[in-house]
């Protein structure tokens, strides 16, 4: 997330490292010409501690930042985003297929980035 926008993401049926690395690669490409130092923040999930992930950050001169254990406030921008996503598209709706849910999330991210009013 940068400037209250979602820069890159991947949606997957299964929790594997591949979609996480794919999203990281997209984020690296998007931010490659950044003049400022890049910091990628995440929670302490297993995927963000895997050597493949940490090595990619290091080889691209990106500082890794992780939330303190049990402190969701350290990751409040993403916690807030997921709260909004669930409130606006998930609660009260039924999704009958993975594809329907995925398309709805993708449409929401586009709306969130391009149209939804956000506090900066």
Q: Which domains does the chain have, with CATH numbers?
A: 17-114 (3.30.420.10)
φ, ψ of residue 63 in degrees (nearest 5): -80, 130
Q: What is the pLDDT of residue 1?
A: 53
Distances (CA, A) of 58 to 32, 46, 47, 62, 111: 13, 17, 15, 6, 32
DSSP at 61:
T
Give pLDDT tens digits for 23-56: 999 999 999 988 788 888 887 888 888 999 999 9
Q: Which residues contact 44 (CB under 8 A, 6 or more apart)?
A: 66, 67, 69
Let me know how long the chain is.
Answer: 120
| Mean model confidence pLDDT for the chain | 88
pTM of the model: 0.81
**pLDDT attached to residue 74:** 65
With 90 as the cut, is the pLDDT of residue 76 above it? no
């Amino acid at each position: 997330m940068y400037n209250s926008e979602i820069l890159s993401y991947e949606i997957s049926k299964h929790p594997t490292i591949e979609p996480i690395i794919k999203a990281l690669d997209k984020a690296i490409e998007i931010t490659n010409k950044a003049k400022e130092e890049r910091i990628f923040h995440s929670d302490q999930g297993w995927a963000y501690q895997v050597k493949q992930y940490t090595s990619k950050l290091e080889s691209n001169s990106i500082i890794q930042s992780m939330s303190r254990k049990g402190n969701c406030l350290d990751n409040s921008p993403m916690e807030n985003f997921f709260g909004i996503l669930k409130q606006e598209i998930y609660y009260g709706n039924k999704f009958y297929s993975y594809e329907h849910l995925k398309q709805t999330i993708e449409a929401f991210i586009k709306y969130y980035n391009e149209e939804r009013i956000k506090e900066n």
